[in-house]
Structure formats: C-alpha cells, structure tokens
Structure 1
Amino acid sequence: MTIGEHLSKFGGLQVTPWEPGQPLGDTVTTIHRISVEYDEKTSWTDKFRAFLTLPNVENSQGLVVGMWSAEAGEDAAPDEMVEALVAAHAQLPRLRALFIGDITYEENEVSWIVQADLSPILSAYPQLTHLGIRGGNNLSLGQVSLPQLRELTLQAGGLSAEVVREVVTANLPKLEHLELYLGTEEYGSTNAADDLTPLLDGQRFPALKYLGLKNSDHQDEIAQMFAHAPILDQLETLDLSLGVLTDEGAAALLGSERVKTLKKLDVSHHFCSTEMMQQLKALPIEVDASEQQDEEDDWRFVALGE
C-alpha cells in the first residue's frame, strides 16, 4: 500500500488545492490544501500569509497542509508552519477540520516525513472536530484536550509509544472515530500492545464507534487483547487491517461473543489461513478479510511502511 493521491475530502468537506492569486472557494462546502514543491521559491508560510488576506477567510472551516518545505530530511521540519498556524488562530475562528501532512509517496515516503511537537496547534484550535496527521518522525502531541473532536487519524510507518500514550489518555469526550497506523520498528515504531490498555474498558472515549488499530507488526497481540474487551460493547467497527494478523490472533476474535455484537470487523491484508478466514466470514456480522497474504511466508509485512 502506498499513499498516491491527495485528499479529496476531509471532515465532510471537499478539498481543493490553493495557490496565491486564486480566490477562496465556497467556505460552506470547500476547504483548501496549501503545499509547496521541492526547490520552489515561494515558502509555505508565504503562501499561508497570502491565504489569510483573502476576503471571507475567517469563515474557512478547515485547512489541509501539504508539503511545507522545499527541502528534504531534517531540514524539512515543520517548525515555521507550526508557528504560522498558531499565530493565525484568531484569523481562523471557524476552523474545525485540520489535516497536517497530506503528502504522497511521490513527494515523500510516509516513513520519511519529519513532524514536530504539534501541541501548540492543538492548543490554538480547541474547537477542532476532525484532525488528521501523516508522518511519525519526531511527532509529539502533548497533553491533548479537544472537547469537540469527533475524528482522529494518525498515519505513519511507525508511531512512538509516547504518541500512542498521548492519544489513549487524551481528553476527547466526543471522539467517535479513532484510527492509528501503529507501524513497525523498521520505520520508527516503538509502541507495544500494552500501550493501548487505557482503551480496553471503553470509559476513556465513551462516544467511540470506530476503532482502527491498524498496520501493526504485533496485530496478533492486539487482537487477543481486544477480542474480549468491554470497549467492543460500544463499537460498531473494529478495524485491525493492514497488519500481520495470523491465525493466532484471528482465533481470539473468532472465539469472542463480543466480536459478534459488532457491525463490522475489518482484518483485510492479513496472513491467516483460508480455513480461518472462512470461519471469520461465517460470523453474523460484516467481515472484510480481503487481501490475504501467503501465510507460509516468513517475511510478513504491514501494508503501509516505507
């Protein structure tokens, strides 16, 4: 799996690229992506400042941040972008949808994206309802408190244990959709299944309906932890896709009465046997068991890595 296309929708709104000299789109239906290309002379912050001068910009409901640096490697840290977004919070009072890092593999592999401490942004925009972040290197969220947030997605080749803990202990009372691409050690992951323990009883996020614990090389342990967890009683969808799930983890899901109360179980991209998948598909819920990989293959890989 690679991320080859930019977002077309986010937070229920259409995403349209914006360049200086262009007008602002319809703020009721549209949000804009601001991005730079390698070796481009105009900086992201210069484009953003021009964006802020547009008539009606104060009614913008969202923003998608694409590539923020014309450089590569450590020189591509988003410090200036973070400072610019924080400084602009009073000019964007209606901003509710924010995606940071809408970067395709042709621009930069997900495992190469250099992030930063984004907690100043989260503090500056406490009204956010939808938040997406791509890239795990140097990522930090701090002590998260977003009382209106309904959707949180973190996409990375690997998430640190610290970031996972920041998420699962966050103050997000209205969160309905949580999607974590946990990743592998090869691409920066230091998280373990135990880091997800605060989610098990369901009390942390009482409004949660979709839980995606995806793209992990310890997918079996996660499946075993969550198969009988009380949080399943409130969920509609449990998404354990894109990882290295085998019959060991699938058997725990198959033997759970709580799993049968879900509307959907997603285990697509897996290393399970055909027999096990047939048994899972016989459950009285919707099961996505597509993208079966070779269970005999000693090299088991997550779908989104490099």
Structure 2
Amino acid sequence: MSYVHHVRAFHGLPVYTFPPCADPADLPDAGSVAWRLSCGQYMSDDDATTRWQRFTETVELEKVRAVVLGHPWYGWDCGGGDRYLIDARERLTALEAVFLGDLEDEESMISTIGLHDLAPLLEAFPGLRELAVRGGEDLDFPVTGHQELRSLRVESGGLPPEAAEHIAAAELPSLERLELWLGDDWYGGGTTVEQLAPLLAGQGKPALRHLGLQNSPVQDELAAALASAPVVSQLRTLKLSMGVLSDTGAEALLHGQPLTGLDELDLSHHFLSHAMMLRLWKALEPAGVRVDLSGRSEPDEDDDEEDGDGRYIAVSE
C-alpha cells in the first residue's frame, strides 16, 4: 500500500494543476479549487519562477483559498517554496490552506523532501486554517501560537524531534485535527513520548478532536502513554496507524482509560496477533467505536538491525 501520492482534494476542494499554458477563460474560478503548482521532476528553479509569474498574472489571487506546491518548489535539496506565497501575501488575502511538498516517490523520496522553519509562513498568514507538509528534513516549527489554524498534518519518514516537540508545546486554540508521522530516527526522526508531554496532557489545544501519532517505531510506548493521557477524553478520532504496534501496546490501551468516547480508533498497519485483534474488536465495536485493524503485518525475518525485532514502520525513505 502506498501512503505517499499526489493529493486529489485539499481543504474540501478538488485539486487543479495550473497548466503551463492556457486561456484564462478556460480556467476554473479562482476560489473553487485548490491550485497545484508543479513543473515536473526535471524542471528547474527558473521554470518555477516562470510558472509562478504566469499564475499570479492569470489567476485572481485575491480569491485563491488553497495552494498545493510540488516540484521544483519542493524536492531534493530545496524547501523554500513558501517564500513565493509570503511575497504575495498582500494579494493572497483569502488564502486558507497550504500544502507544501506534494511529491510522489518517483519525484523524490519522502526522506529527501527538504523543508525549513514554518514560522514565517504562519506569521504571514494569520488567517490560515489548514497546513499540510510532506517531508521533514530541516523542518522546524518554532511557533508559540496561531489563533486560526484548524488542521495541521506532517507526513514524514523522519520528523525532527525538535519540530515535534515545538508542535506539541504550541498554543493552537482553534486546532481540531493534528496528524504527525513521526518516522524513523535513521531518517531524522526519534521523537520520544516525553517530548510530546504537553500534547498528551491536553495543553494548548482545547479544540483538538482528531489526533494521529503515526508511523512511529515507538508505537507501543505511545499507546501506553495514551492509555492514561488526559487528551484522549476530548478526542473523537485517534490514529496509531502505520507504526510497529504490537500486543504490548494494544494491551496497554485495553487496560487504560475507556476508549468508548471515540468514534474511531485507527490501528492500521500493525503487528497484532489475531487473538488481540479479536479482543480489541469485542471491547470497542459493540460500544460504537469503529476500529480499523486492516494491514496486519508480519515481522521481517531478514531484519539484521542490531536489537531489531523485524517490525517496521509504513513510511521511512
């Protein structure tokens, strides 16, 4: 199963790729789509500049609600595409959503999609409601707060622990949805449960209803922490998918605080026994909790990592 693909819809809008040449009369209304800008994997920064200039001259920027940036704005050894948005902030007055790094594996491995400090983007757009980023290399989030952000999603094979720690501590009073692919320390990850402590304690994000702590090699430890974490009581959806969850983590969830207040518990891509899967289903499905137990995996018998047990996360390189 591929977890990394071009987005087809974003911020409730269909994604429309801005064409290299087109009659303005043939383009959709500026506010009716999420505009995807991509020149293909073999194009240069000069091509990006030319494409962006055509976009700003052809589309009514004042009506644009969502922008998705692909290559060459993002890719290997580049990650400053949001400066185009920041420079145009006086015209992008309706911008509500941004996706940075919309690349597939054929264009760039997720571990080599360069990002950077996201604070300038959030400062430039105080009305931003949704931010999604793919990558992780050099990513940081030194943001103490943002009043309007409703959704934050970071897709990464290795989310820098400092960035995860900053996100966990940020004051985001309107945030309803948070998804973090924590990733492998081999690719720059390594976030610990302790670094997520403010998030788990329910601090700074009173509107949070959907939480994903995913794609982690410490999924059992996260499950154990969430078994007693105050944040769970405010959630409707909890995702512990894409990681190395075993019976140990599932046992902690079953013996922790009640999860019957959830609408959905997503544990897909896991290493649970069939017996444990049945126990989870019997404990939660009758209470109305949708439990996603798809993607059961077996440990890799050829794993030669020191201290490795053959379990693996869904997305790394």
- TM-score bracket, shorter-length normalisation: over 0.9
Pairing 1:51–2:52 present:
no
In structure 2, the gaps of 5 or more residues are 302-308
Pair 1:55–1:63, CA change in 2 (3 A): closer
Give the aligned partner of residue 35 of structure 1: 38
Corresponding residue for 2:204?
Answer: 204
CA distance, structure 2, for counterparts of residue 141 and residue 114 of structure 1:
14
CA distance in 2: counterparts of 1:119 and 1:32, whole angstroms: 22
Going from structure 1 to structure 2, the CA distance change for 1:140 and 1:46 (only over 3 Å counts) comes to farther
For 2:312, the equivalent position in structure 1 comes to 301
CA 264–91 in structure 1, closer or farther in 2 if over 3 Å, else same: same
Contact 1:220-1:244 within 8 A present in 2 as well: yes
Q: State the shift of 1:213 in Å.
A: 0.2
1:131/1:151 contact within 8 Å kept: yes
Residue 234 of structure 2 is matched in structure 1 by 234
Q: Percent identity?
A: 38
CA–CA separation in structure 1 for the residues paired with 2:209 and 2:136:
25
Contact in 2 for aligned 1:180/1:214 (Cα 8 Å) = yes
TM-score (norm 1): 0.93
- Structure 2 CA distance, aligned partners of 1:69 and 1:207? 32
Q: Give the aligned partner of residue 98 of structure 2.
A: 98
| Cα distance, 1:155 vs structure 2 | 0.3
C-alpha distance in structure 2 between counterparts of 1:73 and 1:51, whole Å: 23
Q: How far did residue 3 of structure 1 move?
A: 4.2
For residues 20 and 82 of structure 1, the distance between their equivalents in structure 2, rounded to whole angstroms, comes to 20
SS in 2 for 1:2: coil
From 289, 295, 312, the counterpart of 1:291: 295
User: Aligned letter for 1:57?
Assistant: L
Q: Whole-Å Cα distance in 1 between the matches of residues 107 and 144 of structure 2?
A: 29
What SS is found at the alignment partner of 1:141? coil
C-alpha distance in structure 2 between counterparts of 1:291 and 1:299, whole Å: 16
Name the TM-score, length of structure 2 as normaliser.
0.90
One-letter identity of the residue aligned with 2:221? E
* Cα offset, 1:62, TM superposition: 1.0
Provide the secondary structure at the position in 2 that maps to 1:183.
Answer: coil
The equivalent residue for 2:84 is 84
2:304 corresponding residue in structure 1: none
Contact 2:82–2:100 (8 Å) recurs in 1: no
User: What is the CA-CA distance between 1:296 and the residue it aligns to?
Assistant: 8.2
Deviation at 1:203, TM superposition (A): 3.2
Q: Give runs of aligned pairs for residues 68-217 of structure 1, distance below 5 A.
A: 68-69=72-73, 73-74=76-77, 77-79=78-80, 81-217=81-217
Aligned to 1:26: 29
* Equivalent position amino acid for 1:33 in 2: R
Matched, 1:268 2:250: no
The 2-side partners of 1:188 and 1:296 are apart by 22
Q: Which amino acid in structure 2 is aligned with residue 62 of structure 1?
A: A
Q: CA deviation at 1:69?
A: 4.9
Counterparts in 2 of 1:302 and 1:296: CA distance versus 1, 3 Å: closer
Question: What's the CA shift for 1:244?
Answer: 0.1
How big is the alpha-carbon RMSD for the aligned residues of Structure 1 and Structure 2? Answer: 1.8
Name stretches of at least 5 consecutive residues in structure 1 with no aligned partner: none
Figure out how many residues of one structure are paired with residues of the other and give that number: 302
Secondary structure in 1 aligned to 2:162?
Answer: helix
Moved more, 235-244 or 203-212: 203-212
Where do 1:217-228 residues align within 5 Å? Answer: 217-228=217-228
- The amino acid of 2:32's aligned partner reads T
* SS of aligned partner of 1:99: strand
